[in-house]
Amino acid sequence: MQMTFRWYGDSDPVKLWQIRQIPGVTGIVSAIYDVPVGEEWPLERIMHLKKTVEEAGLALSVIESVPVHEHIKLGLPDRDRLIDNYGRTLRNLGQAGIGIVCYNFMPVFDWTRSQLDYELEDGSNALIYEEEVVQRMNPLSGELQLPGWDSSYRKEDLQLLFEQYASVGEQKLWDNLSYFVKAIMPIAEEAGVRMAIHPDDPPWPIFGLPRIITDGAALERFIRLYDKPVNGLCLCSGSLGANPDNDIPALIRRFGAESRVNFVHARNIKHTGERSFQESAHLSSAGSLDMAEIVRALRDIGYTGPIRPDHGRMIWGETGKPGYGLYDRALGAVYLNGMWEAIGKERSASAK
Whether residue 131 lies inside any domain: the answer is no
Which among 265, 282, 303, 328 is annotated as catalytic?
Answer: 265
198 is a catalytic site residue: yes
pLDDT band at 351 (very low <50, low <70, confident <90, very high): confident
34 is a catalytic site residue: no
Whether residue 196 lies inside any domain: the answer is yes
Whether residue 250 lies inside any domain: the answer is yes
102 is a catalytic site residue: no
Region 243-250: mean pLDDT is: 97
Whether residue 318 lies inside any domain: the answer is yes
Q: Which tens digits make up the pLDDT trace of 179-231?
A: 999 999 999 999 999 999 999 999 999 999 999 999 999 999 999 999 999 99
User: Rounded distance, CA 201 to CA 315, Å?
Assistant: 23
**Count of domains observed in the chain:** 1
Q: Which tens digits make up the pLDDT trace of 23-67?
A: 999 999 999 999 999 999 999 999 999 999 999 999 999 999 999
Which among 198, 226, 282, 290 is annotated as catalytic?
Answer: 198
- Strands (E) located in 83-164: 100-103, 115-119, 125-129
Which among 12, 200, 310, 328 is annotated as catalytic?
Answer: 310
Which among 118, 236, 290, 335 is annotated as catalytic?
Answer: 236
Predicted local distance difference test score (pLDDT) of residue 156: 82
Predicted local distance difference test score (pLDDT) of residue 259: 96
Q: Is the pLDDT of residue 290 over 90?
A: yes
Beta strand 125-129 with 276-279 is antiparallel
Whether residue 283 lies inside any domain: the answer is no
192: region left, alpha or beta (phi > 0 left; psi from -120 to 50 alpha): left
Q: Containing domain of residue 323, as a range?
A: 2-108+170-268+291-351
Q: Is the pLDDT of residue 142 over 70?
A: no
Average pLDDT, whole number, for the chain? Answer: 94
Q: 3-class SS at 95?
A: helix
Q: Which of 107-116, 190-199, 290-299 has the lowest mean pLDDT?
A: 107-116
Q: Indicate the length of the chain as a whole number.
A: 352
Whether residue 12 lies inside any domain: the answer is yes
Predicted local distance difference test score (pLDDT) of residue 227: 96
Whether residue 253 lies inside any domain: the answer is yes
Q: Is the pLDDT of residue 152 over 70?
A: no
Q: Is the pLDDT of residue 83 over 90?
A: yes
265 is a catalytic site residue: yes
Region 101-114: mean pLDDT is: 93
310 is a catalytic site residue: yes
Which DSSP string corresponds to 165-228? HTT--HHHHHHHHHHHHHHHHHHHHHHT-EEEEPPPSSSS-BTTB-----SHHHHHHHHTTS-S
For residues 347 and 335, the answer to whether their CB atoms sit within 8 Å is: no
CATH of the domain at 35: 3.20.20.150
Whether residue 64 lies inside any domain: the answer is yes
Q: Is the pLDDT of residue 150 over 80?
A: no
User: Rounded distance, CA 117 to CA 7, Å?
Assistant: 21
Q: Is the pLDDT of residue 339 over 80?
A: yes
Which among 118, 165, 226, 324 is annotated as catalytic?
Answer: 324
Which among 290, 311, 328, 335 is annotated as catalytic?
Answer: 311
